[in-house]
Structure 1
């Protein structure tokens, strides 16, 4: 008795575009990801697939990184009930509240692995802003204190040292010395608030653990 041949599923244009978007994330090809998203957005007449909410969340996360005003206008036009979208909304709330340590926690709670690339990019962006605050607020810090304020843990000290060198900080023993930086009172107040907020939240998390 002959077996019935398996007929392969014919991929739709939408399937191909969605697969391309996923591929571009794994390839860390941001321009390609943007092109695939633009194509998918232009094909709004296509029926949704199981991947649609995930890709919508990825699109929002990308906009949060690259174009916050467009992020808000896009968010206003869609449903926020899906977990993938709620995840991005919660990240944006973390940024607004200055509870940056929650970004580190959120990285381990992503809806799918593909989100980690953009969460890492978001962490790097925040880390850069915190670094500016450190430069304006302190003359020196221990490596341990600097790591905590830059959302890094003890195992990431080599990453911190490399980060410090790129910013022109002087690493001496267990301390980091910051270059002289003259700032206005308004800048100093803003920087100290941001750093204090991050430090207080990090301390609270340690006490919970």
Structure 2
């Protein structure tokens, strides 16, 4: 059963989590203490019958932890919280009242899979959800649309979707997804061109300012010619293919001798 101390920490977490802006450090410290308390109470991963209120509080703590992880840009932490929430979302779905945070968190998990290019896991996760809500629930529809646009190569729609996210936390994963897209586009540019006008490079890479392009170019080892309004891509020297002549000759001689013995 949830102790009075655990209840007090829970109330403090609610307060620190709900203020604007969210008190990230305070939440971090409180979550660490609360998870220890949940373990001691057997509520972190419940395996027996528990008080309904205790289960609801436990789920609420883990949900705040998952959202806090995204706000803190801590993806491994989000993974752990999401994994711990599966017991509540699956095993206790018929016992607990619906959580308003369940589908926002499920949607965040779907976008996370996209950013990690785990397309197979993305579809497996979708198949486990009720088919009738996938295209109607805004928190699920958003990542489904993103995946479709990625497969089509409609990167401009992915970029525009950043301003249409159903929750503020979604923007972090969409930005991460755009980072992956920019890397792919940059690799194509390097292979296809020696240089491009700065304006065209900004457009192709979805940068709204030159400073963003300059920072990206420095990371890729590109040269920015401000006077000539050009971005020059790093030239890659042709790789020389060295043929191990002696090894090939030795192998051929051994093979010839073996053939003679067979004959």
1:119 to 171, 174, 177: 174
Q: Residue in 2 aligned with 1:205?
A: none
* 2:225 counterpart residue number: 172
Asked if 1:72 is matched to 2:123, the reply is: yes
Instruction: Give the superposition deviation at 1:120.
Output: 0.3
- Alignment of 1:157 with 2:210, yes or no, is yes
Structure 1 residues not aligned, in runs of 5+? 1-7, 184-209
What is the rounded CA distance, in whole Å, between the counterparts of 2:207 and 2:237 in structure 1?
Answer: 27
Deviations 1:44-90 (A, max 9, x none): 22333011111110011111112221111111221313111011000
Aligned length: 174
**Equivalent position of 1:38 in the other structure:** 83
Distance in 1, Cα, partners of 2:104 & 2:237? 45
TM-score by length of 2: 0.63
CA positional deviation for 1:31: 1.2
Match of 2:189 among 134, 138, 162: 134
How far 1:116 moved relative to its partner? 0.3
Offset, 1:42: 3.2
SS of match in other structure, 1:176: strand
Match of 1:89 in 2: 144
Runs of 4+ in 1 over 6 A off after TM superposition: none
- Structure 2 partner of 1:62: 112
Note closer, same or farther for the CA distance 1:172–1:123 as it changes in structure 2 (3 Å cut).
same
Equivalent residue of 2:185, what SS? helix
Q: Which runs of 5+ in 2 are unaligned?
A: 1-10, 12-52, 239-263
In structure 1, distance between residues paired with 2:195 and 2:108? 38
Q: Distance in 2 between matches of 1:101 and 1:182?
A: 33
Which structure exhibits the higher relative contact order, with contacts defined as CA atoms closer than 8 Å and separated by 6 or more residues? 1
Q: TM-score with structure 1 length normalisation?
A: 0.78
Aligned-partner Cα distance in 1 for 2:125–2:114:
10
Question: Matched residue of 1:12: which SS?
Answer: helix
